[in-house]
Amino acid sequence: MEIREVKVLLDKHEAGTATPEEKALLESWYLSYQAPGAAENLSMEERLKAVDTVWANLEEAYGLRKKISLWPRIAVAASVLVAVTIGLYLITYKGKQGLEGERLANTPADIAPGGNKAVLTYGNGKRVDLSATKAGVVINTSKLTYSDGTVVDQSAIEASEELSLNTPKGGTYQVILPDGTKVWLNASSSLVFPSSFAGAATRDVLLRGEAYFEVARNKKQPFHVNTQGQLVEVLGTHFNISSYKDEPEQKTTLLEGSIRIGNLLLKPGEQAVLTAGRTTIAKADIEETMGWKNGYFIFEDEGIQSIMRKIARWYNVDVVYEGQVPDATFGGRVSRAGYVSEILKTLELTDKVHFKVEGRRITVIK
């Protein structure tokens, strides 16, 4: 950028009229201007720290009186800082005039994000549609309640019943199991469990999809999570399992405690990755793993097909590809609370991928 362009952006920033893309461009320029190539090997955490440094330096060097909140700060800056070498991160600004909304402006009705949606199914086939205004359900054989104490169903659950909690596309829900274990289900997931663990040698549940567990400690009764081709053995711990059928990898990430998968013992901060029947252990990116539970999409050098699978599950849309699938990788952080057009426009800013939205069908165009 030329100095006069920088001055225009600084003036717009100071006036509070700079767009997220212009703020991103300003960050990118300052970083490359001060230390070309410095961002090439930064981790996500290091990028986030660098963002604050960038703005502190901008404020000091150019006399900015206030720092306007970025949209969102992490998405803009984390992506821009690696644009020097990759050039494909979410908020990288390419200077294409009129890009925002260009391909999505004619969308007749935007697609809202998912929310609290789930169905609880009893062993006898009875289905209970859980309230969208509640966030969780508590399993108790005497009566079914929401996590705030509101009664869901007055009829008793049979002590021997097998129950299942299912979230649809665009749905998420929490369940507190009979032993006090807390489980958060991501979209398009299911958890099968007994109405009581009393008398059983182990506490066994079956997971399909993705869930975060905070397991109630009971050394005498280990907790087992069965997934596709994998058994996770637990005593009491916090961990996340992603086990979707349409994903090439199954990931188990440990936050606290310890878990065993076969003969492998995971320590906090580690992730077990099951691919084609083989499990390996690597250092986990906890922020990326827990993004869904904390209300964000977090991408780290991620391909468009992987990104679109997540979008499809959360926004309950179908995704198709027109022509060659873009081979670009993307990174950044975007809120899951926004409409689908917001994240699609953000991806389009890279000029490496474009979209056409028709109803609940998204076509990906290179």
For the segment 118-147, what is each residue's pLDDT rounded down to a tens digit? 999 998 888 999 999 999 999 987 778 999
Q: What is the pLDDT of residue 161?
A: 85
Report the distance separating Cα 299 and Cα 312, nearest Å: 15
pLDDT of residue 301: 87
Decide if 137 contacts 174 (C-beta within 8 A). Answer: yes
Task: State residue 74's pLDDT score.
Answer: 37
pLDDT tens profile 181-238: 999 999 999 999 999 999 999 999 999 999 999 999 998 999 999 998 899 999 889 9
CATH of span 296-365: 3.55.50.30
Residue 45 confidence (pLDDT): 55
Rounded Cα distance, 301 and 289, in Å: 14
Amino acid residing at 105: A
CB 316 within 8 A of CB 170: yes
Per-residue pLDDT of 302-342, as tens digits, reads: 999 999 999 999 999 999 999 888 888 888 888 899 899 98
Provide the CA 175 distance to its chain's centre, in angstroms: 19
Say which residues have a Cβ less than 8 Å from residue 313's Cβ, sequence separation at least 6: 169, 170, 186, 187, 188, 244
pLDDT single digits (tens) 23-76: 666 666 555 555 544 544 555 555 556 656 666 665 565 555 444 333 333 333
Tell me the whole-structure pTM to 2 decimals: 0.74
Question: Domain-by-domain residue ranges, the chain?
Answer: 3-80, 115-289, 296-365
**Distance separating alpha carbons of residues 24 and 290, to the nearest angstrom:** 25
Give the class (CATH, top level) of 115-289: mainly beta
Identify the pLDDT of residue 25.
62
Under DSSP, the state recorded for 161 is: -
205/135 Cα distance (integer angstroms) = 21
